[in-house]
Structure 1
Amino acid sequence: MMFITINTGGEFICFLAAFIFLIKDKDTAWRLFIPYLLLTCICEAMGVYMRKVAHIPNYNLYNVFLLLECGITSYTFYSLYKPFKNTGKWLITWYIIFMAIYLAELVMNHFKSFVSITASVMSVVFVLASLYYYYLKLMDENFERLAFSAPFWWVSGALFFYFGSTTCNIFFDYLSQIKPINNQLSIRYYIFILLNIILYSFWSYAFLCRYLQRRSFSS
């Protein structure tokens, strides 16, 4: 039962949504969310086990997972930009910058802590990427009902999550000084729970919209 948390539950529900709605999707970027979310669930369960059962640091686990998170999220943005603009060079440049920061921080930390600076930079970049998608969508002359737009809801989930993450990182010292609600878990922990709920709710709905869109085209 210790592995069942709000975070792991939300991740698993989102994985089921991806599996049900995207299993027959022909777009690689969307279909990749099935293995990605499965690995997310496994990583989160392993993180809980390492922290609560084995009582060993789990930062190396999340350091490795950050590479996957950056790769999948960046590739998805690249795929969503395609109808408006070719950003292949931007994607490659971003990967190079990300890996340079990632490796430099690992070396500076002597591989003994989470790469928080890299994660913060990544969050800022994804916030900017989300806003840029909104700009491209605003400039697009083709009409689309945003209430049923899979890309719009996926980007909105990413924007809420990474903007919230960036804000928490900026005010980390302040949030750390706030007295924990139950004398164990910090207010920052609860903020990230809320951000995860928003992220996986929006993404699950995006997968549903993608499924409905595919059905409407095939019918």
Structure 2
Amino acid sequence: MMFITINTGCEFMCFLAAFIFLIKDKDTAWKLFIPYLLLTCLVEVTGVYMRKVAHVPNYNLYNAFLLVECGITGYTFYSLYKPFKNTGKWLITWYVIFIATYLAELVMTHFKAFVSITATVMSVVFVLASLYYYYLKLMDENFDRLAFSAPFWWVSGSLFFYFGSTTCNIFFDYLSSLKPINNQLSIRYYIFILLNITLYSFWTYAFLCRYLRRKSSS
């Protein structure tokens, strides 16, 4: 039962939604969410096992997963920009900057800590990427019902999550100094639970919108 948490539950439900709604999707960016979310679930469960059962650090696990997260999320933004603008060079530039920052921080920490600076940089970039998508959408002359727009809801979930993550990282020391609410769990922990619920709820709805759009088109 220790492996069943709010985070793992949200991730698994989102994975099921991706599998059901995107299994027949022909767009690579969307279909990649099936293996990506499955991997997310496995990483989260493994992380809980390492921390609560094996009692060993799990930062290397999340360091490795950050590479996948950056790759999938960056590629998805690139795919969403395609109808408006070709950002292939931007994507490659971002990957180079990310890898350079990632490797530099690993060396600085002697491979013995989570790459928090790299994660913060990534979060800031994805917040800016989300805002840029809104700008492109605002400038677009084609009508789109945002209530049923899969890209809009996917980007909105990402914006809430990465903006919240960035804010928590900036105020990490302050949040850590606050008195735990319950069971010695910090306020920061509960904030990330809320961010995860928001992210995976928005993504689940985005997958449903993607499915309904595909069904209506066929």
Do both share a fold (TM > 0.5)? yes
Q: C-alpha separation between the residues in 2 aligned to 1:183 and 1:21?
A: 38
- Amino acid across the alignment from 1:159: L
Q: Encode CA deviations 1:162-195: one digit per residue, 9 max, x unaligned.
A: 0000000111111011000015100000000000
C-alpha distance in structure 1 between counterparts of 2:80 and 2:60, whole Å: 31
2-structure distance, mates of 1:51, 1:39: 18
Inter-partner Cα distance in structure 1 for 2:175 and 2:110: 27
1:215 alignment partner AA: K
Equivalents in 1 of 2:16, 2:47: separation in Å? Answer: 21
Q: TM (normalized to structure 1)?
A: 0.99
Structure 2: tracts of 5 or more residues without a match: none
How does the TM-score come out when normalised to structure 2?
1.00
Aligned equivalent of 2:171: 171
CA distance in 2, matches of 1:111, 1:169: 20
Percent identical among aligned pairs is 88
Alpha-carbon distance in 2 for matches of 1:163, 1:36: 21
Tell me the CA shift for residue 207 of structure 1: 0.1
Q: CA deviation at 1:206?
A: 0.1
Question: 1:71 — aligned with what?
Answer: 71
For structure 1, the residue ranges without an aligned partner over 5 or more in a row are none
Aligned-residue CA RMSD in angstroms? 0.4
Q: Which amino acid aligns with 2:29?
A: A
Q: Could you tell me which residue of structure 2 aligns to residue 149 of structure 1?
A: 149
Alignment correspondent of 1:60: 60
Kindly report which structure 2 residues correspond to 1:37-52, keeping only aligned pairs within 5 A, or say none: 37-52=37-52
Runs ≥4 in structure 1, deviation > 2 angstroms? Answer: none
**Does residue 93 of the first structure (1) align with residue 78 of the second (2)?**
no
Q: Letter of the aligned partner of 1:101 in structure 2?
A: T
Question: How many pairs align?
Answer: 218
Identify the residue that residue 132 of structure 1 maps to in structure 2: 132
**CA displacement, residues 40-62 of structure 1 (integer Å, 9 cap, x when unaligned):** 00000000000000000000000
Task: State the secondary structure of the residue aligned to 1:156.
Answer: helix
Aligned-partner Cα distance in 1 for 2:115–2:166? 14
Letter in 1 for 2:57: P
Question: Which SS does the other structure have where 2:185 is aligned?
Answer: coil
Residue identity opposite 1:22 in structure 2: L
